[in-house]
Amino acid sequence: MAEAGQRTKWRGVYNDLHRQIERGELSPGDQIPGEFELADTHKVSRSTVRTALIHLQQEGLITSGRGSLGRQVRERRPMWWNLASFENGDRRDDPQTGMDEWAAGVLEQGRVPKQEVAVSIQAAPPEIASRLDIEPEGLAVRRQRVRFVDDVPYQLSTSWFPEHIARGTALMEQRDLAMPGGVLRSIGHPQVRVRDEISVRMPTPAEVDQLDLGMGMPVGQHIRTGYDAKGHALRVMVTVFPGDRQFLVYDLEV
């Protein structure tokens, strides 16, 4: 009976805060009252309050409370990503603005895109080497991107290219690349077919930090392998995104 009573107590705190968030009485960015204040308001212990807050974190409704601001209501504005049109023949890459197709899709939704890029040459992991059809531990060019929307991390996107087609090209540049028709076409290796693999999993500790994930929040993983006209793999793009910030869209003719 004591355990049932304890569950009821934390559930009362949880329900009260959940209701305030759903009704907009606590808006995105608003600070959640501190543990002492909540304990006093609901006449419960701090451990009971902490249990309620952990459940709200697991649902992605509030932040973890790291830093001086304490726990806050999370911004919940999911983005759509149309993978049927992404990288097709109607790409909107603009060399003048530096905006690529992904950034154009973000702008279309009234949001502000930003990308941080890091480029390196290294031995490809086995699962990447297999998809690129190169020798195990063979060299590949890796372009890592952290993609932000309104200064919030929305994607970790890592593209791998066979070293022999990428070395000495724009793919080695540490910046956003926006070229008509896409960078692979611009360097003489156009993609004509892609294969998508989509899964859902729990994040790694590094992904939790990089994406500022709520406790218990799963991530989606999208892997796209692009091929040339001869069936040779040109690129493997692995994109990881928070389960509450992104949804994938496909428009397919049947």
Its CATH architecture, for the domain 79-249, is: 3-Layer(aba) Sandwich (3.40)
Q: What tens digit of pLDDT does each residue of 143-154 get?
A: 999 999 988 899
Per-residue pLDDT at 47 exceeds 50: yes
- Tens digit of pLDDT for each residue in 208-219? 999 988 767 899
Q: How much is the pTM?
A: 0.78
Buried b (16+ CB within 10 A) or exposed e, 21-58: beeeebeeeeebbebeebbeebebeeebbebbbbbbbe
- Determine the Cα–Cα distance for residues 233 and 225; give it in Å rounded to an integer: 7
Domain boundaries for CATH 1.10.10.10 within the chain:
2-58
Give pLDDT, residue 15.
94
User: 241 pLDDT exceeds 90?
Assistant: yes
Is the predicted pLDDT of residue 1 greater than 60, yes or no?
Answer: no
What's the pLDDT at 176?
Answer: 85
pLDDT band at 90 (very low <50, low <70, confident <90, very high): low
2-58 is a CATH 1.10.10.10 domain: yes
CATH 3.40.1410.10 domain residues, the chain:
79-249
Is residue 225 predicted with pLDDT exceeding 90? yes
pLDDT value at position 245?
87
CA geometry: angle 188, 189, 195, nearest 5 deg: 160
Average pLDDT of the chain is: 88
What token pair was written down for 231?
A: 């069936």
Sequence-ordered strand ranges (E) for the chain: 79-82, 113-123, 139-149, 152-162, 193-201, 219-227, 233-242, 246-249
Distance CA 214, CA 66 (A): 11
CA distance 99 to 93: 6
Give the sign of the dihedral formed by CA 252, CA 159, CA 108, CA 80. Answer: positive
What is the distance between the alpha carbons of residues 76 and 61, in angstroms, rounded to a whole number?
8
